Amino acid sequence: MMRRIAIGMVLLVAGVLMNNSEASEQQFCERAEASGSCAKPPTVDEEGFKVEDYLGKWYEIGSTASFKLLNEAGLVCNQARYSASASGNLSLLNSGLRVISPLALAEVVAVNVAARGACAAAREVCHQLAAVSQLTRSLATLDGHDAHLLQISQQLKTSTQAAQQALNDLSEDVSLIQQANGQISQANPSSSLQSSVAALNRYVKEGRQVEQGALTSLVSTLNKIRGQVKDASHKSGLREKSKAALEHAALSLASIALKVGASNNAIELSLKAVGVGAKALAGNGHPVNDASVSSVSGSIIQPNATSPAKLAVSIIGNKAPYWIIALEKSKSSQSMGAYSAALVYSCSEVAGVTAKSLFVLSREAQLQRSTLDAFLAKAESFGIYNDCEDPFLLTLQRGGNCGQPSSAS
Residue 235 confidence (pLDDT): 77
Residue 174 and residue 270: Cα distance in Å, rounded? 10
Residue 266 and residue 289: Cα distance in Å, rounded? 38
Q: What does the pLDDT look like over 248-304, one tens digit per residue?
A: 999 999 999 999 999 999 999 999 999 999 999 999 999 998 889 999 999 999 888
- Tell which wins on pLDDT, 403 or 40: 40
Residue 1 confidence (pLDDT): 38
Q: Is pLDDT of 143 > 50?
A: yes
Which residues, in sequence order, are CB contacts of 289 under 8 Å at separation 6+?
Answer: none
CB neighbourhood size of 30 (10 A) = 11
What's the residue count for the chain?
409
Residue 386 and residue 384: Cα distance in Å, rounded? 7
Indicate the range of 60-64, 124-128, 334-338 predicted with least confidence. 334-338
Indicate the range of 17-21, 98-102, 208-212 predicted with least confidence. 17-21
Tell me the CATH number for domain 36-101+293-408.
2.40.128.20
Residue 25 confidence (pLDDT): 54
Residue 26 confidence (pLDDT): 63
Residue 388 and residue 118: Cα distance in Å, rounded? 9
Which residues, in sequence order, are CB contacts of 61 under 8 Å at separation 6+?
Answer: 341, 360, 361, 362, 366, 367, 372, 394, 395, 397
Average pLDDT over the chain, rounded to an integer: 88
Residue 8 confidence (pLDDT): 36
What radius of gyration, in Å, describes the C-alpha atoms of the chain? 24
How large a percentage of the chain has pLDDT more than 70? 90
Residue 372 confidence (pLDDT): 97
Indicate the range of 22-31, 33-42, 211-220 predicted with least confidence. 22-31
Q: How confident is the model at residue 373 (pLDDT cuts 50, 70, 90)?
A: very high
Q: What does the pLDDT look like over 69-128, one tens digit per residue?
A: 999 999 999 999 999 987 778 999 999 999 999 999 999 999 999 999 999 999 999 999
The pTM (predicted TM-score) of the whole model is: 0.90
Q: Where in the chain are the domains? A: 36-101+293-408, 104-284
Residue 409 confidence (pLDDT): 54
Residue 23 confidence (pLDDT): 46
